[in-house]
Amino acid sequence: MRAPLREARDASPCISYMGAMYRYTWDHEAERRHRRRNVLHSTLLLGGMVALLSACGWIIAGGNGVLMALLAGSLSLILSPRLSPGLVLRLYRAQPIPRWQLPEVHAVLEAICSAAGMTRVPRLHYVPSRIMNAFAVGNRDDAAIAVTDGMLRRLDLRELAGVLAHEVSHIRNDDTWIMGLADTVSRLTRIMSLLGVLLLAFSLPGLILEGIPVPWLLVALLVFAPTLSALLQLALSRTREFAADLDAARLTGDPVGLASALDKLERQEGMWWETILMPGRRSPDPSLLRTHPHTRERIERLLALQIPIRIPTSPVAILLPWDLPPSRRGWRIRRG
C-alpha cells in the first residue's frame, strides 16, 4: 500500500489521504519564527530551573554547594530508574494493534516516521477508553504510541495523522528525557530548599543573639524556590507541546489536520450538558498552572503556518474492526 502522505518540500505541497486532496502554500517565515521562539523558551526555562537549583546550593554552602547541587542532579539523572514503555502501557491496559486490523493507520505512522528520519517505527497500541487521547512513551530505540478508542472513533484519517505526527515529534525530540531532566532539577530544588530552611531554623537563634543580620531576601528565595521551579517546569511542558505541534505540521505538511483534531478534542471534552450549563468550565485555572497550552492558541499557531489554495474533499473515516475490545469509562490519560 502506498504511503498516504508525504513531507511537504515545495512551496505548494499536495497531501493525499486515500484520495482526499489538500493543497497549501507553506509559510516558511512563520515556521522559522515559531521554531526560534520554542528553542529560546525551552533554553531559558530549563536554564532558569538549573539557576534556581544552583542558587539554593550557593545559599547553603557557597561555591561548594553549587557543585554539590549540580553533581547530585547529574547522578540522579544517570541513576534514576527508567520505566519501560511496556510497564507504562500495562498500567493503561493498552493492547498492541496488529497491522491487519488498522492498515491505513499503520501506513500513516510509517510514512510519518520516514519523514522524521526515524529508523524504528513506534509500536501502535489501543487503549479501551472513551476519552479522546493519545500519548507516547519511550525513546527512539524503544517507543510506543497509544491511542484511545474515543480518538479512533471520532477522528478521520487526516486528523489522526496530525495526532500521530505530534507524538512522533515528542519521541524524535527526546521530550521524555527533557521533561525527566526538568523533573529531576525540580525535585532537587525542593530538597535543597528544605535543607536550607532547616539549617536556617537551627541557626536563627544564634544569629539573633549575636546581632548578625538575617539575609531575608535569600531566605525568601529558599522558601519560594520550589514553587518557582514548578512553574518553570509547567511552562517548559507547554513550550514542548508547541514545538511538537510545529514539527507535526512539518512532518505531514498539513497543519489543518492537527488543528481540526485539537478542535474536536476541545469540543468533546466533558458532557454536552456541561457545555450548556457551564460554558466557562474549561478556563477556571490560571494559565501558569497548565501542563498544556490553551487549545485555541495551539490551533491559531497551526493555522498561521498555511495558506489554503483548495478546500479539501470529504474526510476519510477510520474503519474499526469489530473485534476491538469495547471502550470503558475510567481513568484519564495525560495528553502528550
Question: For 149-178, what is the mean pLDDT?
Answer: 91
Strand order in the sheet with 306-310: 14-17, 20-26, 306-310
Among 198, 185, 179, residue whose Cα is nearest residue 226: 185
Q: Cα dihedral angle (62, 68, 71, 75), rounded to 10 degrees?
A: -150
Q: Pick the catalytic residue from 167, 210, 241, 274.
A: 167
> Using 50, 70 and 90 to split pLDDT, how confident is the model at 111?
very high
* Residue 308 pLDDT: 53
**Strands annotated E in 121-275:** 123-127, 134-138, 143-148
The H or E element spanning position 141 is none
Local confidence band at 329 (pLDDT 50, 70, 90 cut-offs): very low
Instruction: For 119-149, write each residue's pLDDT tens digit.
Output: 899 999 999 988 889 999 988 888 999 999 9
What percent of the chain is modeled with pLDDT above 70?
72
How many whole angstroms separate alpha carbon 123 and alpha carbon 113? 11
Q: Is the pLDDT of residue 270 over 70?
A: no
Q: Which among 50, 42, 20 is positioned nearest to 188, based on CA atoms?
A: 50
Pair 149, 155: CB distance under 8 Å:
no
Domain ranges within the chain, ordered by starting residue: 14-310
The reply to whether 167 belongs to the active site is: yes
Predicted confidence (pLDDT) per residue in 275-295, tens digit: 444 444 444 456 666 777 888
pTM of the complete model = 0.77
Query: What confidence category does residue 335 fall into, taking pLDDT thresholds of 50, 70 and 90?
Result: very low
What are 282's three cell numbers?
474549561
26-84 residue pLDDT tens: 666 766 777 788 888 888 888 888 888 888 888 888 888 888 888 887 777 776 666 67
Q: Please give the pLDDT value at position 272.
A: 44
Residue 233's nearest CA partner among 302, 178, 172, 295 is 178
